[in-house]
Amino acid sequence: MTLLLGVDNGGTRVKLLLAREVGGRFEHVRTDDAPTPRGPGAMDELAVLTRTFLAGDRADAFGITVAGILDETSGVVATSANMRWLEGLAPARELSDRLDIAGVAVQDGVATAIAEAVLGAGRGADDVFVLALGTGIAGAHVVGGAVRKGAHGGAGEIGHLAAGRGEKCTCGQSGCLESLLGGTRLGARWDRARGVDASSTALDVVLAAERGDGTARAILDEATTALAHSLLSVMAMIDPGVIVIGGGLSNSPTWIIDPAVDKAHRQATFHAVPPIVRAQLGTWAGAWGAVVTAGHRMSGERRLERTETV
Amino acid sequence: MTLLLGVDNGGTRVKLLLAREVGGRFEHVRTDDAPTPRGPGAMDELAVLTRTFLAGDRADAFGITVAGILDETSGVVATSANMRWLEGLAPARELSDRLDIAGVAVQDGVATAIAEAVLGAGRGADDVFVLALGTGIAGAHVVGGAVRKGAHGGAGEIGHLAAGRGEKCTCGQSGCLESLLGGTRLGARWDRARGVDASSTALDVVLAAERGDGTARAILDEATTALAHSLLSVMAMIDPGVIVIGGGLSNSPTWIIDPAVDKAHRQATFHAVPPIVRAQLGTWAGAWGAVVTAGHRMSGERRLERTETV
C-alpha cells in the first residue's frame, strides 16, 4: 500500500487529497481545501496547511499542480499569470524540503487530463484524448496514464487546428477552434453580431440560446460545427479509444456537447468514432491527477485504476 | 549478434535484405531482388527464393511487408488490391512454416515509416512523423521505433485532415490534403483547369511548372499551401522532433517540398517547427523496416541505429 498526497494549488483555493494506492487502484482517504496561500510566504504557509491536513499520516509521495508554464526538467515555474509568486520557484522541491516527502510538480491541465483518462470518463481505455473547453481550448493525449507532450512540450494543441472560416485567433492564425468556441470569444462574437459592447460570457450566450435568441443559436451552431470538425481531426490523426470533453463549456450538453457529437457522427466518413463522453471528476480532477502522477513516479506503473469516485 | 532477414514483398519486385544487429546497430550483409512470386504458389516460390538468398546463413528472425490491409492480431491479409493471392493468408506464418524461422508481418507503409524514423532521415530523434506523398497521402507517428496506430489502427491520417478549400475527396470529406496534393488528383486538377482530358500525372504537372506553365504552377502553389497547412497541424497536434517527407512526390523538392516547408516556416506562430527533411532510404526502406520490426520482436529494444547506409 502506498499513501499519496495530491495538492491542487489553484489560483483561488488549494485542494488537498489523501489517497491510498493498493494494487494499482486508488482509494480516497480524505480531502480538504483552503484559500490558496499567496505571496512570498506562500510555500511556508502551504507546508503548514499540508502538515496539518496529513496529521499523523505519512504520505509516501505527493504531487502538486502548477497553474502556469512549468519547465519539465527543472520543475521551475516559468510563468504563472495568476500566481506570480511561484515564478522562478520549483514548487515540488520547495514543498518536499519542508515536508521531507518526495514530490512531483505537474501542470494543472495535464493533471486534469491524466485524472480523467485514468480514473474518470476515460477509465479502462489505454488511449484517451481529453479536451478542455474553457477560455482557451486545450487537448491532451493520454497514453497508458501519461500525457504525450511531444518533442517540445507542445503536443495536443487542438484549439489551434483550423476548424472553420477565417476568424482571427490570438495565436496569430485564422479559423482556429479556439477563435470560434473559446469562452470569451463566444461572448465577444455574440456582442459583435448584435452590435453591442456588453462583455458577454459564454454562459450569457448559452442562456440566450436557451431563451430562443436566433443570433446566439447561430453562433453556437458555428462553434459546435467547428468542434465537430476538430473531433474528426483528432480521430484522423490520433484515433483514440475514448474522447473526453471537460472544462466549463462542457457543462452545456444541450448547446455545446450534444450538437457537436451529433455532427461529428453525421460527418464521419472513414473515421472510427470512439465514445465521446463528458468529463466526470469535476473540480477534484486536478488533485486526483496530482495523486496519479505521484503514484506513477513511485511505482513505474503505467496503468492505474481507482475504486472510489469523489 | 542477431541475423535478421527483411522481405519487402512488393507488387512487382520482392526485395531481400540480410542484416546483422550488433548492440542495437544494424549492418547490411547483402541484398537481392527478384520478380514477385504471384498466384496460388506464391508462398512456396517465395520460400525457395528466400532459402536460396540465405544460402548457408541462418537468420534468427524475418520481417515481411504486406502491400494491403493486415489484421494486426491474426497477421492475415484482409485485402490487397494488387496482390489478391495474399488475401486470407498470414504471410509471416506461411513463410515461417516453410523456412522454420520466426517471422513478423508489417504493412508496407508502416515498414517504410519505421525505417525512415529509425535508420533514415529521422535517425537520432525519438519522436518522428513520417509523411508519404504518393497517389494517396499517408502519415505515421513513430515513437521509439514503433508506429502509433491508435485504438482502431487508424491514426496518422494526415491526408484526410482539412487542409484547403472545398475540393471533394475520395474519403467523402472536402478539402482534404489528399484531394489537393494526392498524385492522381494533381494531374486531374491540371487537366480540368485546362479543359482537357489527358490523364496527366503529377510528374506531368511538375514538368509543366518547370517549363513555366502558369496553370500548373498555380495548382502546385495551392497544393503546397495545403501541405504547409498540414505540416502545421502535425506540429500543433503531435509536436514531433523531426518530420520526414517521402513518397514519389518528395522527389520534387523544387515544386513540392521546398515551397511547402518555406510556407510552413512563414505561417508558423506558436508552433515549434522541427527539422523537416526528405526521406533518405529510397526503395530499400520497406526491407529495412521489415528488418527493424523483426529486430524489435527479437530484442524488445525500443531504439536502434544502423551504421551502414544502403
Give DSSP secondary structure letters for chain B. Answer: -EEEEEEEE-SSEEEEEEEEEETTEEEEEEEEEEEPP-STTHHHHHHHHHHHHHTT---SEEEEEESSEE-TTT--EEE-TT-GGGTT--HHHHHHHHHTSEEEEEEHHHHHHHHHHHTSTTTT-SEEEEEEESSSEEEEEEETTEE---TTS-TT-GGGSB-SS--B-TTS-BSBHHHHHSHHHHHHHHHHHHT------HHHHHHHHHTT-HHHHHHHHHHHHHHHHHHHHHHHHT--SEEEEESGGGG-IIIIIHHHHHHHHHH-SS-----EEE--SGGGHHHHHHHHHHHHHHH--S--EES---
Residue A72 pLDDT level (bands cut at 50, 70, 90): confident
Domain ranges (residues) in chain B: 2-113+282-306, 125-278
Give the CATH H-level superfamily of domain A124-278.
Answer: ATPase, nucleotide binding domain (3.30.420.40)
The amino acid present at B81, given as its one-letter code, is: A
> Which of B168, B237, B239 should one mutate to test binding to chain A, selecting the residue with the greatest count of A CBs within 10 A?
B237
Please give the CATH number for the structural domain made up of A2-113+282-306: 3.30.420.40
Share of chain A above pLDDT 70, in %: 96
Instruction: State mean pLDDT over A32-36.
Output: 96
Q: Flag whether pLDDT at A169 surpasses 50.
A: yes
Nearest-CA distance A151 → chain B (Å): 5
What are the tens digits of pLDDT across the range A217-246? 999 999 999 999 999 999 999 999 999 999
pTM for the whole thing?
A: 0.89
The reply to whether ipTM tops 0.95 is no
| Beta bridge partners of residue A66, listed in sequence order | A107
Question: How does pLDDT run along chain B (310 residues), one tens digit per residue?
Answer: 899 999 999 989 999 999 999 988 899 999 999 999 999 999 999 999 999 999 989 999 999 999 988 888 899 999 988 899 999 999 999 999 999 999 999 999 999 999 999 999 999 998 999 999 988 899 999 998 889 999 988 899 999 987 777 788 888 888 889 999 988 899 999 999 999 999 999 999 999 999 999 999 999 999 999 999 999 999 999 999 999 999 989 988 999 999 999 999 999 999 999 999 999 999 999 999 999 999 988 775 443 333 332 2
The two domains B2-113+282-306 and B125-278 share their CATH topology (first three levels equal): yes
Instruction: State mean pLDDT over A31-46.
Output: 96
* pLDDT at residue number B300: 54
* pLDDT at residue number A300: 55
B287 in Cβ contact with B4 (< 8 Å): no
Q: Flag whether pLDDT at A90 surpasses 90.
A: yes
- Assign domain B125-278 to a CATH class: alpha beta
Instruction: State mean pLDDT over A264-275.
Output: 95
Q: Determine, for residues B270 and A152 on separate chains, whether the beta-carbon distance falls below 8 Å.
A: no
Q: Tell which wins on pLDDT, B71 or A214.
A: A214
Q: Determine, for residues B151 and A239 on separate chains, whether the beta-carbon distance falls below 8 Å.
A: yes
Q: Determine, for residues A172 and B236 on separate chains, whether the beta-carbon distance falls below 8 Å.
A: no
Show residues of chain A in contact with B126, CB under 8 Å: 151
B194 in Cβ contact with B229 (< 8 Å): no
Q: Tell which wins on pLDDT, A168 or B141.
A: B141
Q: Determine, for residues B149 and A239 on separate chains, whether the beta-carbon distance falls below 8 Å.
A: yes
Show residues of chain B in contact with A236, CB under 8 Å: 154, 157-158, 160-161
Nearest alpha carbon to residue B73 among B105, B96, B111 = B105
